[in-house]
Amino acid sequence: MSPVIVLTITIAMAYIFQIFLGIKQIKHFNTVYAALLRKGRVAIGRRSGKFKSGTVVMFAINKDGIILDAKKIQGVTVGARFKSMPQYLDQDLHYLDHYNPLVRKENKLTQIAIEDARNVFLTIEAGTYKEAPKHIPMIDWGLQVKTLLSYVKLNKKSL
């Protein structure tokens, strides 16, 4: 068999394996989220990483903002799993900012994720949260091409 075919098959198999592991991680996330949701409301904070490890924290909270359960996932690969954060149990989410001694003990990415969870929680609690649409580069590119074509057509008519 040609080396090009072997390389192509190897890359395709690696890609399929990556998809499989990604689906498995999403199922793990959904399982942990559902378990936390059964305990109370869930505050989620994230710090995405492109080349560094990403971090997601989830806090199950009661109506007063007291943490009933806390989980964290951090890593670069799809093999990362949620771990408990027992030091945050019975803490008030309102006070988990970068001045809190518990938060200061965490690494920088976890600190950012915890503050993100707190900020989203406070924004929702205040009633001022608005879902911001995410821009997808290919859609923006397509929209720009359509706008450019419309502009050219309009200018042709005016000449």
Q: What is the pLDDT of residue 132?
A: 66
Cα 97 to Cα 57: distance, rounded to the nearest angstrom: 14
Q: For the whole model, what pTM was predicted?
A: 0.71
Q: What is the pLDDT of residue 60?
A: 94
Mean pLDDT per block of 10 residues along the chain (159 residues) reads 91 92 89 92 85 86 92 82 91 89 89 91 80 62 74 68
CB contact at 8 A, 39 and 45: no
Q: What is the pLDDT of residue 149?
A: 80
Q: What is the pLDDT of residue 47?
A: 87
- With CA atoms as reference, report the closest residue to 45 among 103, 126, 101, 90: 103
Beta bridge partners, 54, equal 75
* Per-residue CA distances from 155 to 11, 143, 144 (Å): 48, 18, 16
Q: What is the pLDDT of residue 44?
A: 92
Cα 76 to Cα 14: distance, rounded to the nearest angstrom: 17
| Residue 111: other Cβ atoms inside 10 A | 21
| Residue 117: other Cβ atoms inside 10 A | 23
Task: For residue 72, give the 3-state DSSP assignment.
Answer: strand
| Residue 73: other Cβ atoms inside 10 A | 20
| First-residue to last-residue Cα distance in the chain | 61
- Return all residues near 4 (Cβ < 8 A) that are at least 6 apart: none
